[in-house]
Chains A and B, each alone.
Chain A
C-alpha cells in the first residue's frame, strides 16, 4: 500500500541538508574515533567484507574515516583498464581500492561535495602513490564527469542521503557507457518512515 509518508518530501532547505551532511562527515574525517551512530573505520570494513589485501598500502587515516554501508566490490569484479566513478568518495578508500584493481591502464574519478573529505582523499592518493585516481568537487545530482565516460559507477552509503534519488540515478546513467554497471552499497528501510521523521535532518545525515 502506498502511504502519505511515502510521498512526503522533506520541507527543509536542500542546502541546509547538504550543509549538515558536510558537517557530519567532516567530523568523521577529523575525528573518526569519536563514536557515531554508525560504525567506522577498519572494523566496519571488515564487517562489510573488505579484504585485507584491498586495504594494504592505503593510508590509515583514509581507512579510519571509512563510513560505508555496503561493499561495491563484492557485487561484481572490476576489470583491468576500466574507468570507474565513485560517487560520494569521502576519504577515498573505495576510489583507492578501485584504482588498485583497474591498474595503471584504468582511471578512477571520485566525486564528493565536502572539501575536507576531498582534501583527505587527495592526500591519501598521494601517499599511496595512486596516479590513476583524481578527486573532483561536485554533487551526485550534477556529476563533473562527461557523458558515457565510465564502465562502472560505484557508491557506498550516499544515495540514502539524497532527497532526489531519481536525479542522482539519472546522472549515474548519463556518465555510464551503454551496458555500464552500477555497483552500490547503501541502505533500505523495512518499516515506513513517518512523515514527521522525514523532517528531522539528523535522521538524513546519519
Chain B
C-alpha cells in the first residue's frame, strides 16, 4: 500500500528449491516460491483511502534505535501499558 498498490494477493506458493544441484539454506528459512499480484490505485483518493484503512503502523525509524528495544525482544504485543 505504501508504494501505491491495492488488492495484494498471493496466488500460488510452493517449494521450488528442494532437489537443486547444490545444497541450499532455503529449507532452513522455510523459503518458498510465490506468485503474487496487486493493482496500482486508480487515483490519489483510492490510495489515501487504502492508507487510512491500514490497521498497523510501520515505524519511520527502527524502534530499536529509538531506545525501545524491550518492545521488540520479549513476548510480543502485550497491548497498551498499564499505569
Contact = CB atoms under 8 A, between A and B. Distances in A.
19 contacts: A4-B69, A7-B63, A37-B22, A37-B23, A37-B24, A44-B16, A48-B33, A70-B35, A170-B4, A172-B3, A173-B4, A179-B40, A184-B35, A185-B33, A185-B34, A190-B29, A190-B31, A190-B32, A206-B25
Nearest to B62: A7
Interface string B1-15: 011110000111100
Of the listed residues B13, B19, B20, B73, the one surrounded by the most CB atoms of chain A closer than 10 A to its CB is B20
B64 interface: yes
Interface in A16-67: 35-39, 44, 47-48
A20 B4 CA distance: 30
A123 to B, nearest CB: 26
A4 B65 CA distance: 10
Contact of A180 (B28, B29, B39): B39
Interface string A164-206: 0010011011001111111111111111010001000001001
B4 A185 contact: no
The 10 A-B pairs of least Cβ separation, nearest first, read: A190-B30, A35-B21, A169-B3, A1-B76, A173-B4, A37-B24, A7-B62, A37-B22, A69-B33, A189-B29
Contacts, number: 135
A45 B15 CA distance: 14
Interface in B53-83: 62-64, 69, 72-73, 75-77
Nearest to A173: B4
B51 interface: no
Contact of A179 (B13, B32, B39, B62): B39
Chain A interface extent, by class: 35 or more
Contacts of B22: 35-37
A185 B35 CA distance: 4
Contacts of B36: 75, 182, 184, 186
Contacts of A75: 11-12, 35-37
B42 interface: yes
Contacts of A197: 25, 29
B37 A184 contact: yes
B25 A203 contact: yes
A145 to B, nearest CB: 14
A11 interface: no
Contact of B3 (A48, A76, A170, A180): A170
Given A75-B35, A191-B30, A69 B16 contact: yes
